[in-house]
Structure 1
């Protein structure tokens, strides 16, 4: 078998993937971050869906208690329950989102030329998130449901609050891109130039923490609407039941671990994305 120079192989790869560098970068980042952070994601879902009714599911006093009960029942591998849909959903979500988000920046900026860049980035985030939701909502439902008797419609449980949740990604990338643009201006280099690892680390973590904290209540509502262990409820009914049984704090259950999870998950995803897509763009 012939041995080809590394530069030739890299150039060939770039030509093959030309135009899809954001999708490949996002897909790669989604795979790595999911493999590393899946256990924390599982604990967040189990704890935030914990409504205080022992007749429906096991009750957890803390994240540690949740992890202890899962390991006692299923071993350490129990922390990786639902990995396949999470891995698939994470990779597809990031790949589609970043590809679409970056490809519509120019037309959106032209259409809304009177708006500042952060505002157009927010619009791009909402549009990209809405498109991705149409493809990935069934995958996320599969994480909390094993029933095969509810029909096709059940695959889109939680779709409405999920659409509202596109503001999460929109806020995150509005801040993330603004920080990158600011840093490029500070360094006197063009927009979208490659930055250092420390910059991506700090900007990805900060933007994610702000986005998670601001938009977290919708995630709790969406998780509970997708749970097959309870009777199907609409958005308003889910909110009413949570307020009646648990008070306003119900909408922030799991926020701590969600924020803790943002650092490794977001940093791994976006660092991988930035390295891969810049590699594919290099001439």
Structure 2
């Protein structure tokens, strides 16, 4: 198997670990992002208030709504991203890529990943936010949610929010470009440790999420079942921005940003640390299974 596949498998493993460790924060930020009426009794006033209300109504399990689809989604997302990123890097065929080349590799990997995995994240968003939008309804699993989506809106519903998702390819482009540039500078002076990868993941994700967060909010809302109410139905990205600002103010574009930044930083930190550690083990495992040629001895 190629180096691209090794990095892809390690990325999938790292994604599962990071997602499992930080999923409650994803649930909180997702519900805050899609919340439109903050004045109702059921509304979440803050991240901590969201935790209290979710646990009170749904138990601890409520913080993990949709975890199964999220773990599948993140493993597939990271597998695709790392595979296409490393494949593009090998096609460029440079040990040290320029900033433009690094961004190009990220764009190719990000676009391919979005087109392949968008249906999974639409399902996950609906599961994670279902109890908030319909508190008295029976929780649905992954397959039931998918079946309900097909029944209500057909297969096109799996591609809701795909345009802002494609624009959000800028997020990993920024993240991986910052990561690669800082890593290259440190590597010139010393070998990187697992803690270095943890910090690099945090710094790069902080930069990416801070810049792209309003698009994340619009994407999350477009992935929900669209309301019959015209003011809550978004026909396009710009329509989403316009209506959020009109009815909720600019602050509406940043709902849930505090918990999202904490979650994103921790997820990216654990991901980069785990992926860097897993690459060598995955390569050894594939060699032992006869699925990869052993490294050449010098």
Q: Match for residue 31 of structure 1?
A: 16
Q: CA RMSD in A?
A: 2.2
Q: Match for residue 158 of structure 1?
A: 161
Matched, 1:217 2:214: yes
> TM (normalized to structure 2)?
0.80
Residue pair 1:109, 1:120 contacting (<8 A) in 2 also: no
Q: What's the offset of the Cα at 1:246? A: 1.2
Q: Match for residue 72 of structure 1?
A: 56
Question: Aligned to 1:69, what secondary structure does the other structure show?
Answer: helix
Q: What's the offset of the Cα at 1:279? A: 3.4
Q: Deviations over 1:194-225 (max 9, x none)?
A: 62112112111100101110111110010011
Q: Deviations over 1:52-81 (max 9, x none)?
A: 1778x9411111111111111111111110
Unmatched segments (≥5 aa) in structure 1:
1-15, 188-193
Residue pair 2:3, 2:86 contacting (<8 A) in 1 also: no
Q: Match for residue 7 of structure 1?
A: none
Q: Match for residue 21 of structure 1?
A: 6
Question: Aligned to 1:20, what secondary structure does the other structure show?
Answer: helix
In the TM superposition, what are the counterparts of 1:39-54 in structure 2 within 5 Å?
Answer: 39-52=24-37
**How many matched pairs?**
257
Distance 1:213 1:225 in 2: 20
Q: What's the offset of the Cα at 1:98? A: 0.9
Q: Match for residue 239 of structure 2?
A: 237
Residue pair 2:122, 2:223 contacting (<8 A) in 1 also: yes
Matched, 1:227 2:208: no
Residue pair 2:217, 2:253 contacting (<8 A) in 1 also: yes
Q: Match for residue 74 of structure 2?
A: 90
C-alpha change, 1:43 and 1:144, in structure 2 (3 Å) is same
Distance 2:97 2:272 in 1: 24
Unmatched segments (≥5 aa) in structure 2:
127-144, 285-294
Distance 1:142 1:39 in 2: 17
C-alpha change, 1:19 and 1:235, in structure 2 (3 Å) is closer
C-alpha change, 1:136 and 1:19, in structure 2 (3 Å) is closer
Q: Match for residue 123 of structure 1?
A: 104
> TM (normalized to structure 1)?
0.84
C-alpha change, 1:226 and 1:54, in structure 2 (3 Å) is farther
C-alpha change, 1:109 and 1:59, in structure 2 (3 Å) is farther
Among candidates 112, 126, 138, match of residue 119 of structure 2:
138
Distance 1:278 1:118 in 2: 26
C-alpha change, 1:70 and 1:89, in structure 2 (3 Å) is same
Q: Match for residue 106 of structure 1?
A: 90
Residue pair 2:217, 2:255 contacting (<8 A) in 1 also: yes
